[in-house]
Amino acid sequence: MNCADHHHLAAEADQEVPSSPACVFEKILQKQFEDMATVLESRDSGRSTLYEEIMAMVERSLFRIALQRNHHVKSAASAYLGINRNTFQKKMIKLGLNSSKP
Predicted local confidence at residue 97, as pLDDT: 93
Number of domains observed in the structure of the chain: 2
The per-residue pLDDT of the chain, averaged, comes to 85
Same domain, 1 and 16: yes
Q: Where are the alpha helices (DSSP H) in the chain?
A: 3-12, 21-40, 50-69, 74-81, 85-94
Distance of CA 67 to the CA centre of its chain: 16
- Does residue 42 carry a pLDDT above 70? no
Q: Per-residue pLDDT averaged across 33-62, rounded?
A: 86
Measured distance CA(44)–CA(72) in Å, rounded: 40
Same domain, 23 and 73: no
Same domain, 27 and 63: no
* Cβ–Cβ < 8 Å for 95, 101: no
Three-state SS for 102? coil
* Cβ–Cβ < 8 Å for 68, 78: no
Same domain, 23 and 3: yes
Predicted local confidence at residue 46, as pLDDT: 74
Domain that holds residue 20: 1-40
Same domain, 54 and 6: no
Predicted local confidence at residue 90, as pLDDT: 96
Q: Per-residue pLDDT averaged across 75-84, rounded?
A: 98
- Does residue 78 carry a pLDDT above 70? yes
